[in-house]
Amino acid sequence: MARSDAVLAAEGAVLLLEKLSPALEQVDSSSGAMGTAVNRAIDALAPLIAAATVDSIIRQAWLERLFEALQEDQMPYIGHLADVWGELSVTPDMASAWADRLLPITAHVIGPDGQGGFFVGTTACMSALYVAYRFDELLALVDSARMTWWGYRQWGVKALVALGRPEEALRYAEQSRDAHAPESAIALACEMILLTRGMTDEAYRRYAIAANRSGTYLATFRAIARKYPGRSHAAILQDLIDSEPGSEGKWFAAAKDAGLFDLATSLIQTSPTDPRILIRAAREFVQRQPAFAITCGMAALRWIDAGAGYEITPADVLDAYAALTDAACVCGASRDVLNARLREQFGPGATSAFVSKVLAPHIR
């Protein structure tokens, strides 16, 4: 739809955003997953709305509808919409008009006389000021706030960068740190300032790890590796490993993904690694690198025996054993030799009886 009729797609996006919050009000969102999904939807839909070629009357009507939806958003679900208000306004003139409309209430609410009040248009006002190129006003507004909340101060950082004062922007961001500030968001802003100025080494040294932490250790490594192609994967991984002493095994998947098999092998000997990740690796490398597959399979059983892993079942033990037997066959080793090794390691003296009990019928 977006390709065939951009205006119709934008109209549909506005309608969806209007209906989202009422539709979700009765849904259990205690996990936070719903809010994350809505934010992602806004990130996808806002560019559609902004890209549509319409006259100012239609765009203003869309914004009025969306602002009403923001005001009616009780949970709130679509609050992130305010962060992209300037983008939705598209032109500096329309953004400036919205800034004029929202500025008096915003200044009162966040200022010293605000007494803890809330205004749904606060970040919308800041976003509009930014797109309207009213950077000095934006900075003054943020500086007037009672709290050093990053949700506001990020706009001060952006204003300083736009004014050609990156060193001040960096200090401004650093001064925004407190017990409740999102470290990753501040680090990301600082990293971007330095990268934009070509200061790659300093950006990496000071901010790369904090700015690019992701949902998994592997995703964190990949994010940094993509952003810093001039650094070797081995160097990045070593820095990540050093940043979290005692968690070496959690970087196994990243080392494997980077083809650093010697490092991967050393990591799984050092600290616990998820046995299921090790079992998958053992299966994956049976044909290509059977010796590495055997190392992974044995480590999986060893960490299961030590109590690592979540809700490990006998099927997991047997999966590891199957990968081991396949890899041993590729290596030219007999099953008898493998079974003897397993009996030696997981016999009566094993840490727990679980692995020994599951393997017993197979390794006699």
| Residue 24: band (very low, low, confident or very high) from pLDDT cuts 50, 70, 90 | confident
| Residue 29: band (very low, low, confident or very high) from pLDDT cuts 50, 70, 90 | low
In this structure, are residues 123 and 106 in contact, taking their beta carbons and an 8 Å threshold?
no
> Which residue, 245, 239, 295, is CA-closest to 266?
295
Average pLDDT over residues 176-194: 91
Residue 322 CA to residue 324 CA, distance in Å, equals 5
> Which residue, 87, 172, 71, 165, is CA-closest to 131?
87
Give the residue extent of every domain in the chain.
1-146, 272-364
| Residue 350: band (very low, low, confident or very high) from pLDDT cuts 50, 70, 90 | low
Q: Does residue 348 carry a pLDDT above 70?
A: no
Query: Considering the entire predicted model, what is its pTM?
Result: 0.85
Average pLDDT over residues 100-105: 96
Q: Does residue 291 carry a pLDDT above 90?
A: yes
Compute CA distances 56 → 11, 17, 62, 82, whole Å: 14, 20, 10, 19
Structure-model confidence comparison of residues 41 and 181, the more confident one:
41
Longest dimension (CA), the chain: 82
At 201 the pLDDT is 97
| Residue 179: band (very low, low, confident or very high) from pLDDT cuts 50, 70, 90 | low
Residue 360 CA to residue 191 CA, distance in Å, equals 54
| Residue 318: band (very low, low, confident or very high) from pLDDT cuts 50, 70, 90 | very high
Q: Does residue 115 carry a pLDDT above 90?
A: no
Q: Does residue 312 carry a pLDDT above 60?
A: yes
Average pLDDT over residues 129-148: 95
Which percentage of the chain shows pLDDT scores above 90?
79
**Phi (first) and psi of residue 313, to 5 degrees:** -120, 165
Residue 13 CA to residue 45 CA, distance in Å, equals 6
Q: What is the pLDDT of residues 226-237, one digit of tens each?
A: 999 999 999 999
Average pLDDT over residues 314-335: 94
User: Token digits for 245?
Assistant: 């002493």
Q: Does residue 74 carry a pLDDT above 80?
A: no
User: Token digits for 327?
Assistant: 């890899």
CA dihedral for 57, 159, 180, 170, sign (positive or negative): positive
Compute CA distances 269 → 55, 174, 273, 344, whole Å: 64, 38, 9, 18
Average pLDDT over residues 119-144: 96
- Scanning the chain, the segments in alpha helix (DSSP H) are 6-24, 33-51, 56-71, 85-89, 92-110, 122-131, 135-143, 150-162, 166-174, 183-196, 200-211, 217-227, 233-243, 252-257, 261-270, 275-284, 290-305, 314-331, 335-345, 354-359
Residue 280 CA to residue 274 CA, distance in Å, equals 10
For the chain, what is the mean pLDDT? 92
Which percentage of the chain shows pLDDT scores above 70?
95
Q: Does residue 75 carry a pLDDT above 80?
A: no
CB under 8 Å to 320, separation ≥6 — which residues? Answer: 275, 278, 279, 282, 297, 300, 301, 304
At 30 the pLDDT is 65
At 90 the pLDDT is 96
DSSP states of 242-296:
HHSTT-GGGGHHHHHHTT-HHHHHHHHHHS---HHHHHHHHHHTTTT-HHHHHHH
CA atoms within 13 A on the CB side of 76: 16
HEC sequence for 93-132: HHHHHHHHHHHHHHHHHHCCCCCCCCCCCHHHHHHHHHHC
